[in-house]
Structure 1
Amino acid sequence: MATHGSSMARKTVAVRRFFAWAQQHDVIGTDPAATLMTPKIPSALPAVLNEKQAARLMEVVDDDAGVEGKKTAMATVDDDSVGLDGADVRDQIPADPQSKAAQKPEDQGEPSREARSLALRDAAMVELLYATGIRVAELTALNVGDIDFVNRTARVTGKGDKQRVVPFGVPAGHAIEMWLNGSGAGDGPVLGRKALCNQRSGDALFLGARGGRIDQRVVRGVVHDKAAEAGVPDISPHALRHSAATHLLDGGADLRQVQEMLGHSSLKTTQRYTHVSIEQLKARYSQAFPRA
């Protein structure tokens, strides 16, 4: 079995420290690992969607949920299917069993109330993941009270129980409102979170089909399924986080601001996304510049 570079580097350091300790304690006369070099770990660029692919994905989740007139304000999507070079295709994880039902008509030609509610949930989750760049664990931990619609911000609890406030845009805000309030009109059925809420729900913002706080596996399955439906490269929620960071930097956002938004403790972690932007710039340069 092949050993990853990071694993090999850790083992090399352990061997060096062991023999250094042995020499210091006169267990051995010479250190045979003194010249052992630590293997260089390649810096892998995170997988991202380009802006057209992200726009297509958001349009699909909004269309499935019936969220009208709130498409992402990005470049017009054309019919070409751009690949995701270098992306690792993640294992397919089943989504919430009822989530796919939102795309399938019932005997009477209309999706069930539960299916329509789950479609509203899925749209709100995918919109919020892309709008904020939060981690999937942070998404599932959100409570209803963490959303501030007046300021369009979410209070997120990240690693080490550190809290931060992240902004989101109008499309994500509209999708969340639809999920929380439902889209039933007049005497129509109650939809969205209200339709799934029960004694297991508590204050959880996003619920599973049985009413409990949604599981991370379900969120990953939803993102996989929606990406397939949209015809964009297969991605995970974490790839949406990478995409959000890259598109923010491409749009001129300050690196420190992106670091704060993503909840990175080190600026070095955030700087990875500048490398993605440079790679995209080189690709566009090669396509557009006549003497490239």
Structure 2
Amino acid sequence: MAAIEKRTASDGSTSYRVKIRIKGHPTATETFSRLTDAKQWASKTEAAIREKRHFPERQAQRKTLAEAIAKYKAEELPKLAQPQHRERHLSWWNTRLGAYHLSDVRPELINEHMQALAKEAGPSGKPRAASTLRHYSIALTHLLNMASSKWGWIEHAQTDRVQKIAVHNDRVRFLDDDELPRLLDAVAPHEDLNLFVLLALGTGARAGELLSLTWPQVDMKSRSIRLTKTKNGDMRTLPIPAQALPLLAARVRRLDTSLVFPSRKDPRKPIVLRRAWLEALQAAGIENFKVHDLRHSAASYLVQGGASLLAVAELLGHRDLKITRRYSHLAPQHLRDVASRLDEKLGGAR
């Protein structure tokens, strides 16, 4: 059956999204600016599907990658915690392959361009890291999967044949007992950065999750934050650390945005803290430390304090406990305490 959803953009413009779900067929979707066009397309497409005249491969031969990217940006990007990164990756693909029809965007072509990307120098003048290349690949494969399973533009995405990029992300860098107070002192004069760092260290949340945070997600009564835009798509609730609570309570809420960390130039977008962050690191005399290492620090402090890996995984939003196990070496005393209980059990049995 066809369903038509009316949507209103931030600029006040209206669009109508049609979604046709028929058992045994991929979902067909399309968006129109006029309700009349939406109804006509819905009627014709539903009839074609039932009469077996609707073939996704024909859509793939008509639709270009540029059209798919435009649709993805309109419908999927707003759901992401850091849409600007995905948008940048898709823009790269749009420049290279935007004119290609979806039927021609095959795994061999994608792999060829990924190899070329790996040889290109990034903004820093150095080759892109494996983790960065992986994000470019994920951006395109997710779009193609949407075009296949959700939009019905492709019959088979074949993204399983796109070359996988191995990323060895075993880095665990955290602030030691000497660095922690130095960093906190360095960020204190900067209102936005100070609150951001306290939340990151006190919750273990990702930078993107915090920068996309909105006031409706903050519950001052229960002292909790409800994260809705997360990396793995799972919502989770985090307690607000005591040090950040008064800063949040005293923070001025702007009328032109719901963001907790809005940009001063464009309040619809999150603030960019890179310059203030680098200045704080320099003032604190801390080297080889990234924003994401605040998350590592939070996890490390929890494990060192005796928290179970399962509890840490739940707080950080890890679906796979293997990711959390990278911190297990930080809890030797905790493991010794657990092992001592076995000794007591055995001793009591004699």
> 1:172, 1:4 → 2: CA distance?
34
Worse-matched range after superposition: 45-54 or 219-228:
219-228
Q: Which residue of 1 aligns with 2:236?
A: 164
- Structure 2 counterpart of 1:208, one-letter code: S
- Structure 2 counterpart of 1:128, one-letter code: L
Asked if 1:60 corresponds to 2:114, the answer is: no
Which residue, out of 206, 224, 237, partners 1:135?
206
> 1:56, 1:274 → 2: CA distance?
26
> 1:160, 1:121 → 2: CA distance?
26
Query: CA offsets per residue over residues 135-165 of structure 1, 9 Å max, x none?
Result: 1111122111212223322111212432100
> 2:283, 2:197 → 1: CA distance?
13
Which residue, out of 171, 189, 192, partners 1:121?
192
Contact 1:142 1:156 in 2 (8 A): yes
User: In the TM superposition, what are the counterparts of 1:13-162 in structure 2 within 5 Å?
Assistant: 44-62=170-188, 64=189, 119-157=190-228, 158-162=230-234
Asked if 1:254 corresponds to 2:254, the answer is: no
- Structure 2 counterpart of 1:147, one-letter code: V
Query: Offset at 1:47?
Result: 1.6
Contact 1:51 1:247 in 2 (8 A): no
Q: Which residue of 1 aligns with 2:283?
A: 229
Query: Offset at 1:42?
Result: 6.7
- Structure 2 counterpart of 1:58, one-letter code: L
1:131/1:5 Cα in 2 relative to 1: closer, same or farther (>3 Å)? closer
Query: Offset at 1:3?
Result: 11
User: In the TM superposition, what are the counterparts of 1:167-182 in structure 2 within 5 Å?
Assistant: 167-178=239-250, 180=251
Q: Which residue of 2 aligns with 1:186?
A: none
Query: Offset at 1:124?
Result: 1.1
1:241/1:6 Cα in 2 relative to 1: closer, same or farther (>3 Å)? closer
Query: Offset at 1:120?
Result: 1.8
Q: TM-score, normalised by structure 2?
A: 0.44
> 1:209, 1:268 → 2: CA distance?
40
Q: CA RMSD in A?
A: 3.0
> 2:200, 2:318 → 1: CA distance?
16
Which residue, out of 319, 322, 327, partners 1:265?
319
Which structure shows the bigger proportion of residues in strand conformation?
A: 2
> 2:317, 2:186 → 1: CA distance?
28
Q: Which residue of 2 aligns with 1:207?
A: 262
> 2:270, 2:303 → 1: CA distance?
30
**Structure 1: 5+ residue stretches without partners:** 8-39, 65-118, 181-192, 279-292
> 2:176, 2:277 → 1: CA distance?
16
Q: Secondary structure at the match of 2:273?
A: helix
- Structure 2 counterpart of 1:143, one-letter code: T
Q: Secondary structure at the match of 2:178?
A: helix
Q: Which residue of 2 aligns with 1:219?
A: 273
1:59/1:175 Cα in 2 relative to 1: closer, same or farther (>3 Å)? farther
Contact 2:261 2:270 in 1 (8 A): no
The structure with higher relative contact order (CA 8 Å, sep 6+) is 1
Identity of aligned residues (%): 29
Query: CA offsets per residue over residues 13-54 of structure 1, 9 Å max, x none?
Result: xxxxxxxxxxxxxxxxxxxxxxxxxxx987733221113312
Q: Which residue of 1 aligns with 2:43?
A: none
Contact 2:303 2:330 in 1 (8 A): no
> 1:256, 1:249 → 2: CA distance?
10
Contact 1:224 1:234 in 2 (8 A): no
> 1:259, 1:122 → 2: CA distance?
25
**Structure 2: 5+ residue stretches without partners:** 1-118, 120-126, 133-165, 333-350
Structure 1 runs (4+) greater than 6 angstroms displaced: 1-7, 40-43
Q: TM-score, normalised by structure 1?
A: 0.52
> 1:175, 1:263 → 2: CA distance?
25
- Structure 1 counterpart of 2:197, one-letter code: V
> 2:330, 2:169 → 1: CA distance?
11
> 2:129, 2:285 → 1: CA distance?
31
1:276/1:141 Cα in 2 relative to 1: closer, same or farther (>3 Å)? same
Contact 2:226 2:236 in 1 (8 A): yes
Query: CA offsets per residue over residues 182-239 of structure 1, 9 Å max, x none?
Result: xxxxxxxxxxx45xx353x2x11111122514547x1344333222222222422211
Q: Which residue of 2 aligns with 1:73?
A: none
